[in-house]
Amino acid sequence: MTKEKELISPMLLILIMVFFTACKDASSEDKVEEEIGEENTIVKYSDRFSYLLEYPIDSISFPRSADRDGKIKKVPSKDWTSGFFPGSLWRIYQITDDVRYRDRAKEWTVFIEKEKYNDRTHDMGFKVFCSFGNGYKILNDPRYKDVIIESAETLSTRYNSTVKSIRSWDFNKEQWQFPVIIDNMMNLELLFEASKYSQDQKYYDIAEQHAKTTLKNHFRTNNSSYHVVDYDTISSGIRSKVTHQGFGNESSWARGQAWGLYGYTMAYRYTNNNEFLEQAKKIATFLIEHHRLPEDAIPYWDFDAPKIPNEPRDVSAAAVIASGMIELYEHTKDEKYLDFSDKIINSLSSEKYVIQEETIVPFILDHSTGNWPKNDEINGPISYADYYFLEAILRRKTLK
């Protein structure tokens, strides 16, 4: 065993205790004890964590994903995924209490600060809140709070009072007039928190109204969601409902369903709007009871992909769902949401999905699908899968 692995082993013990203690109940005690006694692939986490710690610091090289040969896709802070890597470091620190991860998270987080002025993107929450937001909750550094508020002010400039939504993308202007994607629900947390920090109601109102507009227009009768809804900025009418990353316009793109579940559960947390909670419950039912959900609860990249079961899985969607289900359980106390989350976490903790020890990349989980229509980031590790997986473990640890 190397010196590095000797240093990391206490962290490994903590994580094993955290995860299995959290998932343990009276009916499953024997099963849990048996799992701990086996050669458990959670031991891979120690190596995976150390690879995140050792990844070279570079302000324009946030690790986003890796291909099958282990080549890392590196992106600058303007990329929508930049906040997930520092966010994962913050999460690992919270899980392990190892200050090395806190210190490295601080070093990476500072590189994102300039994005607080980037008004060309809706992804302010993914970038700034996953990094500075988590950091502020841990460090209580007022400089972090200022970045969050400034970022919320920038994001608010993309809100259209006629459409009553935040514009998602600026590209494809020849096709879309005012596109809003289901993913945008995830960026509302930044606005809700900024409203608390600044005592400015504006950010809260924008976030709440965006959630109401999306609730009205994004969902089908079976409670699956469209990916993109394009609005007319003059009449506020709907021009089209299409997909950009799913199999087809009427298909149920797995990560889109995950964003909806997580987003409406989170929106309920801030607003106590029962319509948001009810929508989260409806999405959860769609996911839990779907006839094309695999036995291990890790969905295929699109529920309507034509070659199931010979289609790629999407671990990132599963991780988002697991984290969202834990919060939904907190609001409802309905055990089926917690049971479903536990099932996903157990599956993701298996050898099938944890990256093997000999693969030296700064990621934890394999088999995510990024953008299938563009054949981009298919069936490999992606930073946001790790982030929401770690969040799910942390939420499970702290669940009361």
Instruction: Please provide the DSSP assignment of 44-57 as one string.
Output: HHHHHHHHHHHSPP
List of residues 6+ apart from 318 with CB closer than 8 A? 258, 297, 298, 299, 344, 347, 348, 385
Instruction: Give residue 356's pLDDT.
Output: 83
Residue-level length of the chain: 400
Classified as helix, coil or strand, 234 is coil
Q: In terms of Cα–Cα distance, which of 341, 348, 356 is closest to 316?
A: 348
Q: How confident is the model at residue 310 (pLDDT cuts 50, 70, 90)?
A: very high
Q: Please give the pLDDT value at position 46.
A: 65
Residue range 125-149: mean pLDDT, rounded: 98
In angstroms, the CA 250 to CA 312 distance is: 19
CATH of domain 3-398: 1.50.10.10
What are the pLDDT digits (tens) for 237-260?
Answer: 999 999 999 999 999 999 999 999
pLDDT at 212 over 90: yes
Q: Beta-carbon neighbour count of residue 346 at 10 Å?
A: 16
* Residue recorded with tokens 């799992």: 35
Give the Å distances, CA to CA, from 357 to 5, 11, 46, 57: 12, 16, 9, 22
Instruction: Give the C-alpha separation, 262 to 280, whole Å.
Output: 7
Residue 308: name the closest of 363, 351, 358, 372 by CA. 372
Taking CA atoms, 272 is separated from 132, 209, 380, in Å, by 25, 14, 37
pLDDT digits (tens, 9 = 90+) for 32-55: 333 322 333 334 566 678 899 999
Residue 108 has pLDDT above 70, yes or no: yes
Cβ atoms of 348 and 282 closer than 8 Å: no
> What does the pLDDT look like over 335-344, one tens digit per residue?
999 999 999 9
What was the pLDDT predicted at 100? 95
Q: Looking at 56-60, 269-273, 348-352, which range is the least confident one?
A: 348-352
Most confident of 2-16, 18-32, 47-61: 47-61
Report residue 206: phi and psi, to 5°: -65, -45
Residues with catalytic roles? 123, 183
Q: In this predicted structure, what is the pLDDT of residue 142?
A: 98
Mean pLDDT to the nearest integer, 51-77? 96
Q: Which amino acid type is present at position 389?
A: F
Q: What is the pLDDT of residue 358?
A: 79
- Residue 359: the pLDDT is 86
What global pTM score does this model have?
Answer: 0.91
Q: Report d(CA 258, CA 328) in Å as an integer.
A: 13
Distance CA 132, CA 39 (A): 37
| pLDDT of 1 | 30
